[in-house]
Amino acid sequence: MDDDRAGGPDRVRLPGHDERSGYRPAYTWPRDDYDPPGGYGPPGYGPPGRYWPGYVRDGGIRSSRRASSWTAAALIAGVAATTGYLAHAIPATGTSSGTGKGSAHKAQQAHKAPGRTVVRAPSAPVVQAPVVTSGGSGAAGGGGGGD
């Protein structure tokens, strides 16, 4: 079979060129993010994806750049959620859940390390009875001013 690429008489073969290797560059990438029309694989495959057999080998670093931003976002969110959970859960292991006298402030603990003091915030107490009556400006003896 004639090789169309064999060229005409005016073509000059460069030293080292070996037709027998059958190498045909599939595409010359104009830039990294260019996706050729019709995709990269056999007909019906569409753009390269994780199921395309040649994807990993052919894409390389370039394919990593094209990794879905949604995937990255999901990873970040997952790490954040895990961090938040651990930050919340670890101090809770040291707190008291009792309702007896001083239960809330017992939860507060100071941990001292060389050169550093870390104070854990106590859990907020549960207070049922009103602590103040607001009913206008009741007068009391002494002092001055006020509405």
Partner 1 sequence: MSATGLSLSAGAGSPAAWSRVGVGSPDIAVADRDALGTTARLVVWPPENLPRLLAVVDSELALLDEQASRFRDDSEISALHQAGAGSYLISDGLAEAVGIALAAASWTRGLADPTIGTALISLGYDRDFAAIEPSLAAPPPARDRGPGWQAVRLSGHILTVPDGVVLDLGATAKGLGADRAARAAFDAASGSAARGGAAGGGVLVSLGGDVAVAGRPPAGGWPLLIADEHRQTRAVRNLAAGGRIPTARFADPAVAQQIRLGRGGLATSSVTCRQWLRAGQVMHHIIDPRTGLPAAGPWRTVSVAAASCAEANAASTAAIIAGDQAVRWLSEQGLPARLIGHDGTIALTGGWPTVEGGLVEPPVTSRLAACRARVSR
List residues binding partner 1 (CB under 8 A).
Answer: 100-105, 108, 110, 112, 117, 119-122, 124-147
Report the residue number, 66 or 106, with the smaller CB distance to partner 1.
Answer: 106
The closest alpha carbon to 137, from 147, 145, 129, belongs to 147
Report the residue number, 54 or 102, with the smaller CB distance to partner 1.
Answer: 102
Tokens for 136? 């206008």
**Residue 99 Cβ vs partner 1, minimum distance, rounded to whole Å:** 9
Report the residue number, 63 or 96, with the smaller CB distance to partner 1.
Answer: 96
**Residue 94 Cβ vs partner 1, minimum distance, rounded to whole Å:** 13
**Residue 105 Cβ vs partner 1, minimum distance, rounded to whole Å:** 3
Neighbours of 45 (CB within 10 A): 16
**Residue 121 Cβ vs partner 1, minimum distance, rounded to whole Å:** 5
Count Cα atoms within 13 angstroms, Cβ side, for 44.
0
The 3-class SS string of 15-27 reads: CCCCHHHCCCCCC
Q: How far apart are CA 2 and CA 45, in angstroms?
A: 30
